[in-house]
Amino acid sequence: MKKIISFSKFFVPCIILSIGLIAFGIIGYFTKGINFGIDFQAGFIEKVKIAPTAVELSYEGPLTVSFSQGISDISITTTSLDGENKSYVFKFADNPTLKDFADGLASIDGLKVKVTASGNVLLKNLFSNSESSSRLSANVFRLHHLEKGLKPINTDEVRHALSSIPSVSVQQLGTPEDRYFQIRLADDGKYEDANKELRSIINTALNAAYGTENIAVISTDFVGSRFSSSLAQQAILLVGGALVLIFVYAMFRFQWNFSLAAIIALLHDTLIMIMFISWTQMEFNSTTIAAILTIIGYSINDTIVIFDRIREKIQLEPKLECNEVLDKALSEVFTRTIITTLTTMVAVVALYLFTTDSMKDFALALIVGLISGTYSSIYVASYFIALTSKGKKAGEMITRGKKAPGELSGAVI
């Protein structure tokens, strides 16, 4: 006979724990706020590396000379007046160092090369300013590198450099070897060309603090207030609509207290994820909404499987006390629930370990959601059923939609 675990003994302590975590999240919301991404906050975002110049390129001559950098090489393409192209490809495998690259460039007439870093710097570690034109001219084109052994610039230093700009936010991202800063400036609606003017405000302050030769813009993004507001409304409607449909489904399959218990468990999972996002200052963007919806779908399936087993036990043993039937049902599905969660967790952890940026955040949010979803299906949803069925025998817990023993609800097991 399967061992019966007394889950009901832990209902109240677990609810107290959940209330404490959610209260902790509310404190985080009011003290730290939510790090809204560009999807939900109108304004300008710039990702920038503060790194010294490794080499300067310039060209004066009749040809059109362009620069491009790929995953495995750097190429210089020259185009003559009659349209004839010639490409010089410097593969990282064949030209591993900056010195090798500079020596190879000497064969291109009119191209001036000024190496400002050690010739031993790895060529694959160089990067350019995304705002610089890829067409080489008399204006200096710079390739930067993050110098090893050099004391890294921290977030507080960048914030101090931008302290003259109201409401600017700075976040350090990436690995220590490939660190960069994400700078966000909200659009308050007073700029005629917000994209251009906000970009200029940030870059002027950075150039003044660190010098133009030490700034490499990796990427920029801008979202207008109308679009961000519309996207936020759609996200709220999407999550709200999902909860309403789930409530109706659970009401149809079971009854009102089961349905409400499922929604409370889902709201619990959503709040726990938002609490985690608030305290870690993970960027809240459309990927985060996808993670929340994924967990809502995963958690409701888990909850429905448990509810189905509870109903089956009620049919089989209607004279048991409410907590007894809950303990029996939860004990029977506990192994299935844990194995399913761990199997899913393996894939999500792999996603977290082997991806970067938004996908890494997505995986981390899923990990938190999976843990919360499993916990809430067992303790939060079941506690609400116990609370609304207090003093009742098992046979009195469901008053409608009774099924023959063993009949399935259609939940994925």
**Tens of pLDDT, residues 28-75:** 888 877 777 766 766 788 899 999 999 999 999 899 999 999 999 999
**What is the maximum alpha-carbon separation in the chain?**
95
Summary mean pLDDT of the chain: 83
Domain for residue 403, yes or no? no
* 218 assigned to some structural domain: yes
Q: 383 pLDDT exceeds 70? A: yes
Confidence at 407, pLDDT banded by 50, 70, 90: very low
User: How many structural domains comprise the chain?
Assistant: 2
Q: Are residues 309 and 344 in the same domain?
A: yes
Tokens found for residue 179: 């660190």
- pLDDT band of residue 409 (cuts 50, 70, 90) is very low
Residue 134, both tokens: 């890829």
CA dihedral 242, 248, 250, 251 (to 10 degrees): 160
Give the residue with greater pLDDT, 149 vs 196: 196
My answer on whether 64 and 203 are in the same domain is yes
| pLDDT, position 320 | 77
Whether 317 and 397 have beta carbons less than 8 Å apart is answered as no
Q: Which domain CATH number covers 300?
A: 1.20.1640.10
Question: Within a domain: residue 83?
Answer: yes
Length of the chain: 413
CA separation for the pair 168, 184 (Å, rounded): 6
Q: Is residue 413 part of a domain?
A: no
DSSP secondary structure string for all residues of 204-239: HHHHHHH-GGGEEEEEEEEE-HHHHHHHHHHHHHHH
Yes or no: say if 194 and 44 are a contact pair by the CB < 8 Å rule. yes
3-state secondary structure of 17: helix
Q: Is residue 2 part of a domain?
A: no
Sign of CA dihedral 329, 331, 335, 341: positive
For residue 95, the model assigns a pLDDT of 93
Q: How confident is the model at residue 411 (pLDDT cuts 50, 70, 90)?
A: very low
pLDDT of residue 59: 93
Rounded CA-CA distance 290/365 in Å is 10
Triad 128, 122, 70: Cα angle to 5°:
45
The sheet with strand 64-69 has its strands ordered as 85-91, 73-79, 64-69, 135-136
In a domain, 404, yes or no: no
Together in a domain, 166 and 308: no
**130 and 152 co-located in one domain:** yes
Do 244 and 386 sit in the same domain of this protein?
yes
Judge whether residue 395 has pLDDT over 70.
no
Helices and strands, number each (H, E), in the chain: 10, 12
Q: Which of 194, 223, 252 is the last residue of a domain?
A: 223
pLDDT digits (tens, 9 = 90+) for 315-359: 887 777 778 888 888 888 888 889 989 999 999 999 888 877 678
Residue 36 near residue 49, CB atoms below 8 Å: no
Q: Are residues 165 and 136 in the same domain?
A: yes
Task: Give the mean pLDDT of 377-403.
Answer: 73
pLDDT for residue 410: 44
Structural domain boundaries, residue 247 = 7-40+227-396
261 closest CA partner among 317, 296, 300? 300
- pLDDT reading at 403 higher than 60: no
Per the DSSP assignment, residues forming a β-bridge with 68 are 75
In this structure, the answer to whether residues 255 and 322 fall within a common structural domain is yes
Contact 328, 400 (CB under 8 A): no
Nearest to 346 by CA among 376, 373, 370, 374: 370
- Report percent pLDDT > 70 for the chain: 89
Same domain, 218 and 244: no
User: Same domain, yes or no, for 126 and 145?
Assistant: yes
DSSP state of 122: B
Q: How many CB atoms lie within 10 A of CB 36?
A: 19
Yes or no: say if 208 and 167 are a contact pair by the CB < 8 Å rule. Answer: no
Q: Measured between alpha carbons, how far apart are the two ends of the chain, in Å?
A: 21
Give the pLDDT score at 305. 87
Residue 28 has phi, psi (to 5 degrees) of -60, -40
Region 298-321: mean pLDDT is: 83
Q: What would the two tokens of residue 21 be? A: 């975590």
- Quick: pLDDT tens for 258-268: 888 888 988 89
pLDDT tens digit sequence for 209-245? 999 899 999 888 877 655 555 666 777 787 788 778 8
pLDDT value of position 84: 87
How far is residue 204's CA from residue 55's CA, in Å, rounded to a whole number?
23
Residues 6+ apart with CB under 8 A from 83: none
Tokens of 399: 């008053």
Map tokens 């009901």 to a residue: 8
